[in-house]
Structure 1
């Protein structure tokens, strides 16, 4: 009887596990379309992100310490626009907002492909791209909620997260594939036009973005999933005495004013101060990811040579997260979000110290089984495997474990610390670490890159990574040291003192 009962229980557990996925079987088409849009648009964004600084060096002639601050300013514009997207979507509608954002991304990339005049490339290329990316991202998160019913919602957000990681994985593969095929500083001849390798990568990201356009037109205006089935909600028309552009202008001004008022209200709340300190500390872990976005490609090419397959090495992070995040989430549900953020922060900070070690220490590992697996089987290299390939793969694995512990819990903690009825306002602030991390990397990493990993001359790249590793330690140390002030009790979870 016990054996039979165990079998029934195990069968029920397996059935329940797969049942979580089957809830999407009856999802409306718009939900699946939004998943596809997310994967493709993230692939385009990730490919652009990896290429951006390299393009600034090669095509626009910027030095490391000039290119990185421009990236920081670009991120500021993107973040500022993101704060206004919710209100703009109310006026424009979800489908129209997505369409405008996608068109701006396509036009911005087109300018970046066709010109090497600095002010034109930045003002007419990079700026519209920032606005377009800001319009698209938050809308797709809202789409996951709008196009799913209450039973499907949790799995829908998990799928959006998976699609995001799939997109970054695709971007890493494309980044390596075209650099290997054309050469690091090669040329593509197409219809009488000549594109450098980095312009070609922008062209590929433009094509990916263009694939999103027909998908947008498949979204039905006003479609909404409810527990009773599909519901078509007509969008509110603009007042008769006001043009469409006037409505958008008015909404933008109102959204800006309301955002300023909201921050004024939040500043007077004790919980906001706790959350702000928490998020500032988290930014010091997030600098690892911004380092990988904007500094790692240049470092990889300088240390490992032109055409080095560095994109799919960093892409392992997305693959590991798709596997690890649900497992770690299921095993650590009873622990407080704050504890998991500390644990994940410590693991993530420890990971980057691998890159701060002398590469000579990893020569035996590179010549062994792990080096053969990473270098020859996964990357398809021939001959001796450079120790940095092994170091990067180990670093990415450990970093991914840490990310699986802390990253989902940051948003959860923001909701836990928020006063009742203000969860959305506090949740929106969860993007603050990304902004601060981009500013830190943008303002300082260019000088570090020029000094410790120059294009020519002796390099001491381990020092470059050591600086970032020490910065990242601020997060777990600060979270532990300020625990009594920051931590709040989380319903249904243990709260260690």
Structure 2
């Protein structure tokens, strides 16, 4: 074992790990702010989407599930395509375009109120805007950090995302409680009357505009951080305008995008990378059930105004905010493979808590535990035992998520060759692209079968299906270890993509 000097020990200290980003360019902090705003907008919209389709547009459970599945598939499809576009036109232009498109389409969805116009003019083009923000922000986190900053840079990006989720969760419950199930809001000066879910969509559009402004006003084009050192560099090719008119410029961008995709598909390691991401789909699908299955389930089991926005949408991200930087600092030398195995196992097993009968924790209701829970959920009346189940599940799941999810985030960008970060991030969603063909309709079918709006319910069966699919991920990761582990002395390290920096490990 090597003996480090006092300086070495200081460099490895917790304080140094948390302050390493102070020398990062302002663009990184603009991206962090944009991540908070866009995540809050996305989470608000997602939390209300399924109930908006069922209550406002009068879709059936199965119809609403099919639609949100199709919408999620469209997001993944566009993400698959626009990752290379982002690498081609630059981070600043991509962010400005995506934020603008999301703001307009979220606003349109809020005011149209038509079962045909709202999806066609609002939701469909919005999927492109949402898709563009996903790979570009991960690419920015790599491009705006050096090798020494990268681990904490990705951890903080994940924290910012969860800050946005926490804001959305609390605000969602507040708006629903303030307006009531049949309440309306009239836009001042315009006179358009909005339902509770349309009002939530309008608030989401406002968050998007707030995130757009700093990107337009303060972000510089072509900023990069070198692998070593803290001096910001500029990629002049990113700042140079394309030659010719708009049609020729578009052709040049498409040609460059196609060349990038062709290069990536020739890399053998890319397919091992896709195999690994396919395996973790089972546990990743739980997040989509929290967006689309949980809201109707909670309202049907607990009544309108159920505090699922706080119980899941606040507790989960708040715990992630606290745990992720700590986990990143304490376990930075533990391999990504090991962290992902443990984390996905904890997440998957926690789903079985929702399978328990709804009165399992009824013995806690008359105890002193009720006071803090009622305060956290902002409940004045009686406390349903099901809230304890939901909170314990959310807490356990969050611990597992903090262990594995940031590592998958970092792994996706770290294996990418330089200049191909957004492409890899876009292509990394390809397995979820196919999974979303299942998860959306599955949500509607499970609700219709086991938790209908009227009639007998067997909600335990609903969550049993979700839990079994989640458990498949850690089981397959362990079973297929030889196929997804690198051929190196460190068997537990995940394989880096061909063309990645030669001596840079995938694990931080």
How high is the TM-score relative to the length of structure 2?
0.85
Distance 1:82 1:212, change over 3 A: same
Distance 1:494 1:477, change over 3 A: closer
> 2:223 is paired with a residue of what secondary structure?
strand
For the 8 Å contact 1:290–1:437, the answer to whether it is kept is no
1:214 paired to 2:233: no
CA deviation after TM superposition for structure 1 residue 42, in Å: 0.9
Task: State which of 288, 291, 299 in structure 2 corresponds to 1:290.
Answer: 288
Q: Which moved more, 1:213-222 or 1:456-465?
A: 213-222
Task: State which of 220, 236, 242 in structure 2 corresponds to 1:238.
Answer: 242
1:357 paired to 2:356: yes
Task: State which of 205, 228, 231 in structure 2 corresponds to 1:229.
Answer: 231
For the 8 Å contact 1:64–1:450, the answer to whether it is kept is yes
After superposition, residues 40-439 of structure 1 pair within 5 angstroms as 40-191=37-188, 192-222=191-221, 224-226=223-225, 227=229, 229-234=231-236, 235-240=239-244, 243-252=245-254, 255-256=257-258, 259=261, 262-263=264-265, 265-266=266-267, 269=268, 271=269, 274-314=272-312, 315-333=314-332, 335-374=334-373, 376-411=374-409, 429-439=427-437
- Residues 288-347 of structure 1: CA deviation (Å, up to 9, x unaligned): 111001111111111111112211211211111222233334444554433332222221
Q: Distance in 2 between matches of 1:59 and 1:329?
A: 43
Distance 1:286 1:145, change over 3 A: closer
Residue aligning to 2:21? 24
For the 8 Å contact 2:53–2:59, the answer to whether it is kept is yes
For the 8 Å contact 1:410–1:430, the answer to whether it is kept is no
Distance 1:321 1:308, change over 3 A: same
Where in structure 2 are there 5+ consecutive unaligned residues? 494-508
- Residues 193-234 of structure 1: CA deviation (Å, up to 9, x unaligned): 210000000010011111123212223432525446344544
Q: Distance in 1 between matches of 2:135 and 2:263?
A: 21
Q: Which moved more, 1:392-401 or 1:472-481?
A: 472-481
CA deviation after TM superposition for structure 1 residue 483, in Å: 3.2
Task: State which of 26, 32, 36 in structure 1 corresponds to 2:33.
Answer: 36
Q: Distance in 2 between matches of 1:253 and 1:442?
A: 34
Q: Which structure ranks higher in relative contact order (CA pairs < 8 Å, sequence separation ≥ 6)?
A: 2
For the 8 Å contact 2:412–2:428, the answer to whether it is kept is yes
> 1:359 is paired with a residue of what secondary structure?
coil
CA deviation after TM superposition for structure 1 residue 439, in Å: 2.8
> 2:369 is paired with a residue of what secondary structure?
helix
Distance 1:344 1:113, change over 3 A: same
For the 8 Å contact 1:172–1:311, the answer to whether it is kept is yes
For the 8 Å contact 1:336–1:493, the answer to whether it is kept is no
Distance 1:420 1:239, change over 3 A: closer
Distance 1:338 1:124, change over 3 A: same
More helix by share: 1
1:459 paired to 2:463: no
Q: Which moved more, 1:321-330 or 1:124-133?
A: 321-330
How many residues matched?
A: 482
Distance 1:154 1:73, change over 3 A: same
- Residues 154-196 of structure 1: CA deviation (Å, up to 9, x unaligned): 3332221111110111110111110010013321122222100
For the 8 Å contact 1:88–1:248, the answer to whether it is kept is no
Distance 1:253 1:331, change over 3 A: same
Where in structure 1 are there 5+ consecutive unaligned residues? 1-7
Residue aligning to 2:503? none
Q: Distance in 2 between matches of 1:422 and 1:94?
A: 12
Distance 1:174 1:428, change over 3 A: same
Distance 1:33 1:327, change over 3 A: closer
For the 8 Å contact 2:110–2:201, the answer to whether it is kept is yes
Q: Distance in 1 between matches of 2:488 and 2:317?
A: 29
Across the aligned residues of Structure 1 and Structure 2, the Cα RMSD in angstroms comes to: 3.2
> 1:361 is paired with a residue of what secondary structure?
coil
Distance 1:85 1:365, change over 3 A: same
Distance 1:494 1:289, change over 3 A: closer
Q: Distance in 2 between matches of 1:73 and 1:261?
A: 29
Distance 1:109 1:245, change over 3 A: farther
Residue aligning to 1:3? none
For the 8 Å contact 1:57–1:63, the answer to whether it is kept is yes
Distance 1:76 1:260, change over 3 A: farther
